[in-house]
Amino acid sequence: MACGPWRNAAWPPSLTPPSRMLGPRRPTWPWFSWNAWASSASWDKLAELHGNMFVEECPKCKTQYVRDTVVGTMGLKATGRLCTVAKARGLRACRGELRDTILDWEDSLPDRDLMLADEASRTADLSVTLGTSLQIRPSGNLPLATKRRGGRLVIVNLQPTKHDRQADLRIHGYVDEVMCKLMKHLGLEIPAWDGPCVLDKALPPLPRPVALKAEPPVHLNGAVHVSYKPKPNSPILHRPPKRVKTEAAPS
């Protein structure tokens, strides 16, 4: 796994990977991701094994569209937009039904991205895993290919991972803090972020209403009488309604 710039108009940039490593005077590394973030790295050096929430793809012509905001669906579902790529001879647009690229549990990994990630892992001198427990296979085992061929493995994660014993260096900490120190050590400047920055907070949901208990039917002269009584002194939890609150993040 290697490094490239990550930023999008709808999200603050992450310090993972460092933003300047793909500059014109820096060596470029292929890197792969199984997180659904947006990236401005060169697409031919990017393998997104589990999809990207900012990307939708046409199943007919395989054209991918990178959006400024989340496409709105998950699980390779239709997004409601159509492909606008012109067909051969420019007669009319493809009009394929665009779908998101986020995989569900039963979906297979994309062949092109898996091959690129596997090749990069086998030929890399160093694999750096950032913020992942490495539990999901086969993507979680890809960094081990670097070790098997004499390379080094660095793992940065808050909790222990299943491959900690294989790592040459383990750092248990926040990825952004680690990468910020690395950028400072390398003498690389982190670009300022001037886009929107928000925090989403969800309050606990309301409890389900207490179901009224039906009394057994009483037979009166052949007629059936059914009455409902609420359970006396039943505890009722009072909680604020569920809502999503958007606040400006402190600078």
Cα(first)–Cα(last) distance of the chain, in Å? Answer: 30
Three-state SS at 153: strand
Among 59, 96, 61, which residue's Cα sits nearest to residue 76?
A: 59
Is 219 designated active site?
Answer: no
Per the annotation, does 83 bind a ligand? yes
* 3-state helix vs strand vs coil in the chain, percent to 5: 20, 25, 60
The radius of gyration computed from the CA coordinates of the chain, to the nearest angstrom, equals 26
Distance CA 249, CA 226 (A): 56
Rounded to 10 degrees, the C-alpha dihedral 242/246/247/251 comes to 130
Per the annotation, does 94 bind a ligand? yes
Is the separation of the CB atoms in 83 and 60 below 8 Å?
A: yes
Question: Which of 50, 185, 219, 225 is the catalytic position?
Answer: 50
Pairing relationship of beta strands 244-248 and 198-202 according to DSSP bridges: antiparallel
Per the annotation, does 61 bind a ligand? yes
Per the annotation, does 197 bind a ligand? no
Annotated binding site for Zn(2+): 58, 61, 83, 94
Annotated binding site: 58, 61, 83, 94
Question: Which residue numbers are catalytic?
Answer: 50
